[in-house]
Every structure is written in C-alpha cells, then in structure tokens.
C-alpha cells in the first residue's frame, strides 16, 4: 500500500476531526492535502505551541491497541497547552511506522487515527496536517492553541506564600507501569490504573479555574521533578504535605512523587482553586521539603547519556 | 549528560535564532523553557503550518556533518511555507538521538543546532521550542509562517492554459545521491551537487514573484510526481517541454523528472514569472505529456508497504 492511500485512510478515520469537515473549515481554511495548512487566528489572541515525541517501547508499549496509543499521545501533547491556560485549536502529527506493522494488522494506522480523533473531539480541536514515513514506530505531535493576549500562564510567576495545588489524583500511570498492567485485553475493560496510563485527560475542563492561578506546569515527568522546574523558574522553594497528595487508587506516595505520565496540572495560587487539592505552598527558601524533610527533585529524565 | 544539559547546549548553539534573543522576543513572547511557547500573530494575517520528519539513512545520511543535516532539514521543511507564499516565523523541532552518537562526538547536538541556526537566520525566523528523546536518529520539524488573509497560494487553483514554471535548476540533489557524493570531507569544500543536496534554499527570495502565480507546490518528491499532485488538485493535465527543463550541472533529465529532495517551486501562472523558467503548460486534458509522449507521474514514494 502506498503513502497516499495510507494518508487517505487516515483522513477517513479521523472523520469530523480532520480539517476537511464543515466544522473544522470555519477556522482551518486550507485542509490537509496542500503543502501546508492555513488557519485563521482569533483576532487579538496569542498563539501557543508545543511539540512532543512518543517512541514505541519508550513512551508507549508497541503492542498496545493503537486506539489507546493515538488517544494517549494526543492528550499528553495537549496537556502542555492546558498548562498554559490555552484553548486547543489544532495539531500536526508526524507518524513513522514500519510496513511490517500493517502486515500484522492492515488497519493499524486507521485505529491509531480513531483514537486521536476521540481525543481531538473531547478537546474540541482538529488534526489539520501530518507526515508519514517508514521507520521505527514513533509519533511526533505539534499542538497549537490560543490565549487572550497576556493571559498565558507561565511556570515562572509563582511567589513565596502561594499555595500549591494539583488538579487530580496522582501516581496511577506510574502504578500501571510498575504493576505490569500495560497488556490490554479489550478496549472496553480497562482497569482504573490502565485508564490512568492510556486515557489521560488534558485538563481543559479547569480552564476558568486555572485562570486564577499564578503559575502552572503539567506533571509529565513526576510531581517532584515538575515542582522543581516550577520552583527554579519562579525562584522559590516548596513545602509539601505528603498526606495531602491525592493518590490514585492502587498508587503509592512514591508513584505520585516520582512517576511520570500524569498530565494533571500543578498550580501555584494565592486563592483556593475549585476542583483542585492543596498539597503545600511555595517558600522563600530554596529546596523542596516533604513533611519537614528535604527531598531531591528528580523524576523521569528522558535522556540518560 | 542529562536531558536538560543537552537542551541548554542546544539553546546556546542556536544563539540569536533561539527565541530567547532580544530580536526574537519581539514576536515570541514566551521563549523555550515553559510548557509551550507563546507567539504574537500579525493582526489580520493567517497562520500557515506544516510538519516533516527526517529519518537517518532514509532522508539524510547518518554520517554527514550534523551542521549540514540541521541546515537541510530546516530548509526542506520551510520550503512548504515558501510553496504557500507564506513568510516564515518559527519552528518547533523534535530530535530523537542515541546516547552513542554523543560518545563519538560530544558536540553532535550543538553542531546540528548550528546548522539549523544558519538556515533560520537566512529565512529570518526562529526556533522557539522542541523536544528531545533517546531513540533512533530522527528529526521532526513543525514550521509556521503567516500570509495576509486570503493570500495563501494553493496547489488546487491552476487552470488549463496557465504556464508551468520552475524556480531553478533541477536534478542536482538526485544526481548527488546517484553518484554517491554524500560523503563530505569538509564543510568548506562541497561539490556543486553536494550543495544541491545538503544546502537547499527555500525560495522565500521569490515571495513577491510567487504572489503573481495561480498555483504552486514545492518539488520534494520529484518534478513529475509533484506536477501530478498539482494537476490532480487543479483538475488539469500538463504538457512539458523536456528541453526547457533547467538541469543542474551534472544532472540528467531523468534526475530532474523523478529525483526528489529539490525544494525548488513548481508554479502555474497566467503571467510570466521573473527568475523562473517556463517548462510547459496546464491542459484541459488529464495526464502528463513530455514532448508529445504521455509519461507516468511517479516519483519518490515515502512508503513502500
């Protein structure tokens, strides 16, 4: 099967989420199929952009159902926009895969696209361009959103005394990996921990509340490491109350502190944030303290050279 | 060496082209280092976006000097924006590489960034975000530009009778590969064919002239295949004069017709285009004809499954 037939299959599987549908065409004025896509920005808003790569057996298990891989990689990518308090608009997706994968399952690429379309529908955005190449299985997603001018929420604007909040339970994705639960029998019967890993939710539902925060980062590398980034950027330290950290059922405190792949938000705020759990506060003094003990901020490092 | 140290090296090598420099900060208001970058669009302009992946030993020779790899992958990606008559603004870059590469050359990533910075400087745009992961050598580039509203140049708007033009000589990159000239001894002594392959120029210099054209595509998969795409999208056929096709010194007509990696523009136009060579015209009748002989439109197919 040739490149162009595969792309045509993928566009069909993306359905209303490919920027060829009437809804999409309101903002995406040139759909996939030209040299580039053309999007009309919202007047007065700023553009927010991020890119993430997901490699087979590093960032997702190769044998997982492709619907779950597609869902997960798009949601995980979109989480960076949620952390900026941005409204998602569109994504470009570069897929590298071996022809052998299609010999095992001739609809693998369509099933991947179906999962992406589901995530795109939930986030109310479109997939409006891509690239297909033959090579080791890897997916790179470039996500694009908008914020009203000056309203992007940074990680550098936290201040000592601000409360620290998380947007949901932590440690579930890490516990899923630790307990070897990544073999999926059926899409309809995910365990709660499998759902944590494979069906993360970029927290666009909290957009109004997030707007009250002073600083934000998404927890992709682990609570401690991402808190470390927020503290470094904001020139603060932090104190955490271990007992206040909300754990996913089946997750340990260690999963929550050091496990990656969460995609919940970590926020600093002067005011309480509805729907979020307060877990500590930023401090003048550098360093991260858990229940009066200093703790190192290491989490997941993508590059061990 | 850890992920964050490598990223810091890369930002330093990008220099004024990373969106942390004073020039860049005029448009890129949140530089790399947060969850996402924030860019201020030009009021009334539309956003133009494309993504491309480059895999080692498929899209570039792994052993080539990384400066040339970086230059080539960014210019090749930007070519899609030139084909839309868009002005380039910024790129996001996802790099996957093995730690072993840094053991052979600890500055490999910096040299790659230096090549990208050179291309970015020539195209007057910035690299304002990225992703680093450990895996088979591959580079994915998401490029972003702007066009005045309604001024994007499509491939679907050619009409029978319009002349067909190319923006420069063809076949050089293909001849470089065919003649096995991809081993580079020194960055300063590229042969003309090596320069065709490793130092393509996205044709932003022709932006004013391109604005007069009726349709455009960049020649990345070979003249015939890309002409086929333009004809299909415009519901036309085409007649080419073989003798009019400008060949790079050392390239054959076959290199020019079927060789990829050109990144010159193929344009349809009712009026002559300065600096471009007329090679034929669009026809009512479907099919592509070369000197009165019908010819198949196949070129480079990225996916042979």
Give the tens place of pLDDT for each residue, A271-281.
999 999 999 99
Asked if the structure places residue A155 within a domain, the reply is no
**Which pLDDT value is given to residue A188?**
87
| B38/A48 touch (CB, cutoff 8 Å), yes or no | yes
Residue-wise pLDDT tens digits, B6-61: 999 999 999 989 877 777 777 777 777 788 999 999 999 999 999 999 999 999 99
Of residues B90, B152, B301, nearest to A38 (C-beta):
B152
Q: Is B294 on the interface with A (CB under 8 A)?
A: no
Model confidence at B239, pLDDT cuts 50, 70, 90, reads very high
Domain final residue, candidates B117, B148, B179? B148
Residue window 30-59, chain B: list those with CB within 8 Å of chain A: 30, 33-41, 43-53, 55, 58-59
Asked if the structure places residue B203 within a domain, the reply is yes
Task: State the smallest CA–CA distance between residue B175 and chain A in angstroms.
Answer: 23
Residue A64 tokens, joined: 């997982």
Residue-wise pLDDT tens digits, B182-217: 899 888 889 999 999 999 999 999 999 999 999 999
Model confidence at A25, pLDDT cuts 50, 70, 90, reads confident
ipTM over the 0.85 cut-off: yes
Of residues A3, A36, A90, nearest to B302 (C-beta):
A3
Give me the mean pLDDT over the B96-100 stretch. 94
**Which pLDDT value is given to residue B163?**
98
Residue window 93-132, chain B: list those with CB within 8 Å of chain A: 93-94, 96, 99, 102, 128-132
Domain final residue, candidates A122, A148, A174? A148
List of chain B residues whose C-beta atoms are within 8 Å of the C-beta of residue A76: none
Q: Give the count of domains, chain A.
A: 2
**Which pLDDT value is given to residue B303?**
54
- Supply the range of the domain harboring residue A177: 163-295
Asked whether residue B143 falls in the same domain as residue B89, the answer is yes
**Which pLDDT value is given to residue A87?**
96
List of chain B residues whose C-beta atoms are within 8 Å of the C-beta of residue A101: none
Q: What is the CATH number of the domain that holds A278?
A: 3.90.650.10
Asked whether residue A198 falls in the same domain as residue A269, the answer is yes
Asked if the structure places residue A64 within a domain, the reply is yes
Give me the mean pLDDT over the A102-126 stretch. 96
Task: State the smallest CA–CA distance between residue A275 and chain B in angstroms.
Answer: 22
Of residues A92, A99, A156, nearest to B142 (C-beta):
A92
Class of residue A295 by CB neighbours under 10 A (exposed 0-12, middle 13-18, buried 19+): middle
Asked if the structure places residue A158 within a domain, the reply is no
**Which pLDDT value is given to residue B302?**
53
Asked whether residue A176 falls in the same domain as residue A278, the answer is yes
Asked whether residue B191 falls in the same domain as residue B123, the answer is no
Domain final residue, candidates B119, B148, B177? B148
Asked if the structure places residue A156 within a domain, the reply is no
Residue B243 tokens, joined: 């003798």
Mean pLDDT of all residues in chain B?
92
| B2/A48 touch (CB, cutoff 8 Å), yes or no | no
**Which pLDDT value is given to residue B305?**
36
Q: What is the CATH number of the domain that holds A111?
A: 3.30.1330.10
* Higher pLDDT, residue A11 or B26: A11
Share of chain B above pLDDT 70, in %: 97
Model confidence at B223, pLDDT cuts 50, 70, 90, reads very high
Asked whether residue A130 falls in the same domain as residue A169, the answer is no
| A303/B99 touch (CB, cutoff 8 Å), yes or no | yes
| B133/A93 touch (CB, cutoff 8 Å), yes or no | no
Q: Is the pLDDT of residue A3 over 90?
A: no
**Which pLDDT value is given to residue B304?**
45
> What are the distances in angstroms from CA B260 to CA A55, B165, B177, B298, B299?
27, 17, 10, 11, 7
Q: Is the pLDDT of residue A295 over 80?
A: yes
Residue-wise pLDDT tens digits, B27-39: 777 777 788 999 9
Residue-wise pLDDT tens digits, A69-110: 999 999 999 999 999 999 999 999 999 999 999 999 999 999
Asked whether residue B133 falls in the same domain as residue B79, the answer is yes
Q: Is the pLDDT of residue A305 over 50?
A: no
């Amino acid at each position: 099967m040739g490149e162009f037939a595969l792309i045509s299959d993928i566009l069909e599987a993306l359905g209303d989420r490919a920027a060829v549908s009437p809804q999409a065409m309101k903002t995406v004025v040139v759909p996939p199929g030209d040299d580039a896509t053309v999007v009309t920005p919202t007047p007065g808003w700023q553009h927010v952009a991020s890119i993430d790569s997901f490699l087979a057996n590093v960032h997702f298990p190769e044998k997982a159902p492709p619907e779950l891989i597609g869902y997960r990689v798009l949601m995980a990518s979109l989480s960076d926009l949620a952390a900026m308090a941005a409204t998602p608009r569109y994504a470009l997706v570069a897929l590298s895969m071996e022809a052998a994968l299609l010999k095992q399952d001739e609809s693998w690429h369509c099933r991947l696209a179906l999962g992406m379309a589901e995530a795109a529908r939930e986030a109310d955005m479109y997939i409006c361009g891509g690239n297909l190449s033959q090579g080791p299985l890897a997916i790179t997603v470039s996500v694009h959103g908008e914020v009203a001018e000056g309203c992007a929420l940074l990680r550098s604007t936290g201040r000592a005394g601000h409360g620290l909040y998380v947007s949901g339970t932590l440690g579930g994705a890490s516990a899923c990996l630790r307990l070897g639960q990544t073999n999926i029998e059926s899409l309809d019967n995910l365990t709660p921990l499998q759902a944590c890993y494979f069906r993360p939710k970029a927290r666009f539902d909290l957009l109004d509340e997030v707007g009250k925060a002073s600083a934000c980062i998404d927890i992709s590398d682990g609570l401690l490491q991402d808190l470390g980034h927020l503290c470094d950027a904001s020139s603060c330290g932090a104190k955490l109350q271990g007992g206040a950290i909300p754990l996913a059922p089946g997750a340990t405190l260690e999963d929550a502190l050091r496990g990656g792949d969460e995609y919940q938000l970590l926020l600093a705020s002067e005011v309480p944030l509805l729907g979020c759990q307060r877990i500590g506060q930023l401090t003048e003094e550098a360093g991260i303290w858990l229940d009066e003990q200093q703790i190192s901020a290491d989490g997941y490092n993508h590059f061990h050279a």
